[in-house]
Amino acid sequence: MDIKEMIKKFWFIGLIAIALLVFIVIYAVQAYQNRPIYVDTKTDNDGNYIVYSIEGENLLANDLYDNLYEDLGASTAYTKWSRQVISKAIKTTEQLNTYASNYANYIAAYNDQATIDSALKQYGYANGFDDLLEYCLDMVKADELYKDFYSRNFDTYVKPLIDETHPKRVYHILVKVENVEEVTDEEGNTSLVANMSEEEQTKLNSILEALEKGEDYADVCAKYSDEDSTKDKGGYLGIYDDTSIAQQMVKEFSDAVIALDYDTVSEPVLSEFGYHIIKVEMPTDDELKADNVFMSEVSNHYTYSNIVALKEKADELGFEIKDEKLNDLINQYIEQAASEIAAEVDTPVEETSEENESEDGE
């Protein structure tokens, strides 16, 4: 998995790192041209601090401050602010530390250290690879904040996604087939062929006959399925939408799940593991709210609406930005985002807030 995709929620570029970079570049140029450069903490005649002097010309602290804001812009100011909001809003727990550790191990397993190091430094983690666990903790905390927001605003943000992503409770009964081979026809198309033993065929026939007679799917699963980890749970695998099932299951299985209507049972589906008889059901709203994977995918779907979640939490915490310029830049970013939110949800955020206030009043 691309590390840049994993960190798309944050663009943390440190202000101090940028300031240092500006200074280093200037220093290198001047040194190359053999021009004198002096760094001091003196003030000019008006009491302004001098950052450095080059050939008698001063760069004042105020000027550097203004230039940094101009160069970095609202986006960087927003991301530094958002990281602080998330840190204050979500307390670190043992469970979140465990999630973060697992996430860090996952990233490290699928990316080389140099790539991770470079990416994290680019996004404001000064120690690069050594800050991987800190980055992952920031990410799992952000997930917690977003999941809470979208759970409380379920009808506005999540319901429209249900029609797009088709989340389903997925069950299966498995008949393992030892000899499944891939064959290629004359046109180069590949397919799977099951060379079933008599015992395997008999088991598959028994399952199909039982279901055709109307026997309970969970009872049939418990009696016949070769999937030991799920057979006592009615074959339950979890809640998946069209994206997550395609990412996590073999193609033959995921294609069948995506094609199935709610409350239906599939014909036998052959994969490299054997034959699956799949059932899908519609999850309840409460089940979706409680499903961490699904709710995380909801927040991944939204960009601008996540800003609303952060702003709401910042206001709730009384998060006051003392620096006027930083406050203006963040508000500018939020205002720009607000114009894009209507494209993400059917109901504008302003209307949703009014509806929620009305409901609370009732």
pLDDT at 122: 77
pLDDT at 58: 63
124 contacts: CB under 8 Å, gap ≥ 6: 10, 11, 12, 13, 14, 17, 79, 80, 83
CA–CA gap between residue 202 and residue 163 (Å, rounded)? 39
Q: Where are the alpha helices (DSSP H) in 217-284?
A: 217-224, 242-248, 251-259
CA angle 118, 120, 125 (to 5 degrees): 125
What Cα–Cα distance (Å) separates residue 324 from each residue in 108, 286, 327? 40, 42, 5
C-alpha torsion 104→107→111→113, nearest 10:
-10
User: How far from the centroid of its chain's Cα atoms is residue 108's Cα?
Assistant: 17
Question: If DSSP codes are grouped into helix, strand and coil, which group holds residue 131?
Answer: helix
pTM of the model: 0.66
- Tell me the domains of the chain and their CATH numbers: 1-162+286-362 (no CATH), 168-282 (3.10.50.40)
CA–CA gap between residue 130 and residue 39 (Å, rounded)? 31
Question: If DSSP codes are grouped into helix, strand and coil, which group holds residue 8?
Answer: coil
Q: Which residues of the chain have pLDDT under 70?
A: 1-45, 47-79, 329, 333, 337-362
Backbone angles phi, psi at 183, to 5 degrees: -120, 155
Count other Cβ atoms within 10 Å, centred on residue 135. 24
**194 beta partners:** 180
pLDDT at 100: 94
Burial 51-82 (b: 16+ CB within 10 A, else e): bbeeeeebbbeeebbeebbeebebebbbbbbb
pLDDT at 178: 95
Cβ atoms of residues 179 and 194 within 8 Å: yes
